[in-house]
Amino acid sequence: MDLGQCLKGRVALVTGCGRGIGQAIAQFASRSGAAVGCVDIDESAAGEAARAVTASGGAGLALGADVRNLGDLIAAADAVAARFGSVDTIFASAGIYPAAPLEAITDEHWDMVLSLNLKGVFHTIKASLPHLTKHGSGSIVIVSSITGNRVGYPGLSVYSASKAGINGLIKSTALELAPRNIRVNGVEPGTVRTPGVEAMGEATLARIAAVIPMGRLASPTEVAAASVFLASDAASYITGQTIIVDGGQTLPELPLSLSLS
């Protein structure tokens, strides 16, 4: 999978780069020509992501930061700008999805998920905004989900709320930042074969894949490709939008009587 050097000369900051989709975005952005600031709450995981970028010939910088802490992200954005000269491309992918039935959800559970998934995106935007504004243009791509905006799943009510909130944030910030030539978009993945999802076991994954029209889960790289496209000049007139990357998972299934097969 290759989009060429569509981010050549860009400087990207990627949150949640230590694993899964964020890790794939950091690698894909680097292969597409961007210098990459690899941000993760796990500093050692951020270091591994940055080393993978440099090992493949790119330019990477590892930064430990908790997206729930605005000061951490301001420091990270400043460090990336100091190292590479600017920050013009943001990929906000940090997130968690702990499952719990409604009766078991505590205020602490609610606050943890919303603080990391939703407020963390707000912090990422706010911390990077001075650099994007100074640069005179920029692109922000946020990893949302089909969960919350398109579909719901039992046990993921808090996660769903956070992702629905992200989609609203995408639209409002895109409208506000368009006059500054800063675009804001998102990707809505379906079920992706990340380490967290793989922990559910192959039998469960096979049952999920069976109800996806394309018959399989997405790879993190497929979500990364859509994210990098949205950040690139190929999407220069797209803002306030999300791309669904789900293999047809949200498409309605035709009744057998209407099937063409």
Identity of the residue numbered 183: R
The alpha carbon torsion through 2, 232, 47, 200 (nearest 10 deg) reads: -70
Q: Are the beta carbons of 101 and 80 closer than 8 angstroms?
A: no
Is 159 an annotated catalytic residue?
yes
Q: Are the beta carbons of 102 and 80 closer than 8 angstroms?
A: no
Render 113-127 in DSSP notation, one character per residue: HHIIIIIHHHHHHHH
Instruction: Give the Cα separation of 137 and 179 in Å (integer).
Output: 10
Instruction: Give the Cα separation of 2 and 221 in Å (integer).
Output: 10
Q: Which of 97, 153, 159, 237 is catalytic?
A: 159
Q: Are the beta carbons of 9 and 33 closer than 8 angstroms?
A: yes
- Residues catalogued as catalytic: 159
